Structure 1
């Protein structure tokens, strides 16, 4: 039987156009295997990751990390301000933050303009 643990949802993250990360604390029960000392949760706003089965209103469990591999889903700060959840793609020209929605374009940035805040480790579908 799977065990669950309460985790605080510390705010919202954009799955669409980048937004300022907003704070709104609430709690949710998540599988214990996803909750570690360096994890936090964010509620998703938008549909840019819908083809990766991350939809508006979902809660993503994030492992705090400034390092990520190309191809990982990350929460990233853009231009020292806005925050977005996208798939990270690293190449010689810089960084691409790629949506999982064919109707949306990637965000292309210089390395200095993006900072990884964490890696998506799981998704909890909890309707508010």
Structure 2
């Protein structure tokens, strides 16, 4: 193997796909055994990779079947794309908006409405760090 090929191979690493996250109506995340090659610079020890289901983020170029690289974090800033747990059970991928009245989880699809919640009913699980377009 030449140095160029080795450098390319070392710039990727395998990451386990950890189920599904909704881009549409919230769904429960489930486990599954599947791996994908991801850029090493995006993969850290606190990273996970759910596959997208739905089309609520299509205007942000995130579509069903994509694999999200998510950095596990309970803190996020307004405007970041996040994976959030809603009402202590469902999980969704949306853009986070924080204001005095609570939290808005905003889709990137003009035909869908934001999800408006009080702070007690939403928990940020992670921040989007990358998208891998991988057809299933």
Q: TM-score, normalised by structure 2?
A: 0.92
Which residue matches 1:31? 39
Q: Which has the higher helix share?
A: 2
- Give 1:25 shift: 2.2
Answer yes or no: is the 8 Å Cα contact 1:7–1:41 preserved in 2: yes
Moved over 2 A (4+): none
The count of aligned residue pairs is 128
How big is each residue's C-alpha offset from its partner over 1:38-76, in whole Å with a ceiling of 9 and x where there is no partner? 101000000000000100000000000000000000000
TM-fit CA distance, 1:23: 1.6
3-state SS, counterpart of residue 135 of structure 2: coil
- Does the CA-based 8 Å contact 1:99-1:106 persist in structure 2? yes
SS in 2 for 1:88: strand
**Greater gyration radius:** 2
- Any idea what SS the aligned residue of 1:57 has? coil
The 3 A distance-change label for structure 1 pair 2 and 72 is farther
Residues in 1 aligned to 2:33 and 2:105: alpha-carbon distance in whole angstroms: 27
Q: C-alpha displacement at 1:29, in angstroms?
A: 0.2
Point out where structure 2 has 5 or more consecutive residues left out of the alignment.
Answer: 1-8
Report the CA distance between 1:2 and its aligned residue.
Answer: 7.7
Kindly report the root-mean-square deviation, in angstroms, between the aligned alpha carbons of the 2 structures: 1.1
Write the distance in 2 (CA, Å) between the matches of 1:11 and 1:48. Answer: 18
Higher strand share: 1
Consecutive unaligned residues in structure 1, runs of 5 or more: none
Q: Structure 1 length normalisation: TM-score?
A: 0.97
Distance 1:97 1:25 in 2: 29
